[in-house]
């Protein structure tokens, strides 16, 4: 599998950009009651690095959602496998995602979370792939905008594998 990967973003590029995002989030959320929500599973390396780059107090929660079902394409059907264990009502919520592709996952998650009455709801993603959008979702913080490639590494997977790569690469089937 690894012989079918072309590096796209190096470990150093990712590390530098995550530090920049963390500093921006500290500035934007200073003095606010913030809940940072990670969308599992792919977000875990980005999420861990991002929250460590945020020198401030905040709460953390996770949701687990799925729209891929093991293939290279999103099925378009979003399933919530694990819901939040913290309330976001009357608080600022920041959803952290590994990649925004079709927008279907974040559209569903955003609507669900808006119904829970947060003071604000914003989205931060490591990777944005706007050419694949099927629904419009506002992405407030973007690590990198990429072309339409199937990418793996740094949490992104192919059927559960390759998440542990320290960089992001293009997978060539």
Q: Above 90 in pLDDT, residue 78?
A: no
- Residue pLDDT, tens place only, 112-128: 999 999 999 999 999 99
Which positions are catalytic? 101
Query: pTM of this prediction?
Result: 0.92
DSSP for 52-92 reads HT--S--EEEEEEEES-TTSSS--S--EEEE--SS--TTSE
Q: What class, spelled out in words, does domain 2-171 have in CATH?
A: alpha beta
Q: How far is residue 136's CA from residue 70's CA, in Å, rounded to a whole number?
A: 24
Residue spans per domain, the chain: 2-171
Q: What is the mean pLDDT of residues 77-98?
A: 93
- Residue pLDDT, tens place only, 46-66: 999 999 999 999 999 999 987
- Residue pLDDT, tens place only, 128-169: 999 999 999 999 999 999 999 999 999 999 999 999 999 999
Task: Identify the three-state secondary structure at position 6.
Answer: strand
Q: Above 80 in pLDDT, residue 74?
A: no
């Amino acid at each position: 599998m690894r012989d079918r990967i072309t590096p796209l973003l190096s470990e150093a590029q990712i590390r530098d950009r995550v530090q920049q995002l963390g500093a921006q989030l500290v500035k934007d959320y200073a003095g606010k009651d913030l809940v940072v929500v990670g969308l599992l599973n792919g977000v875990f390396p980005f999420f861990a690095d991002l929250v460590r780059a945020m020198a401030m107090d905040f709460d953390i929660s996770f949701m687990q959602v799925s729209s891929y079902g093991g293939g290279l394409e999103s099925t378009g059907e979003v399933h919530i496998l694990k819901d939040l264990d913290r309330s976001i009502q009357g608080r600022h919520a920041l959803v952290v995602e590994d990649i925004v592709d079709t927008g279907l996952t974040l559209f569903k998650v955003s609507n669900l979370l808006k119904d829970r009455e947060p003071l604000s709801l914003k989205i931060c993603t490591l990777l944005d792939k706007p050419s694949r959008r099927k629904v419009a979702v506002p992405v407030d913080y973007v690590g990198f905008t990429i072309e339409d490639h199937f990418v793996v590494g740094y949490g992104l997977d192919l059927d559960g594998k390759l998440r542990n790569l320290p960089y992001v690469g293009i997978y060539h089937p």
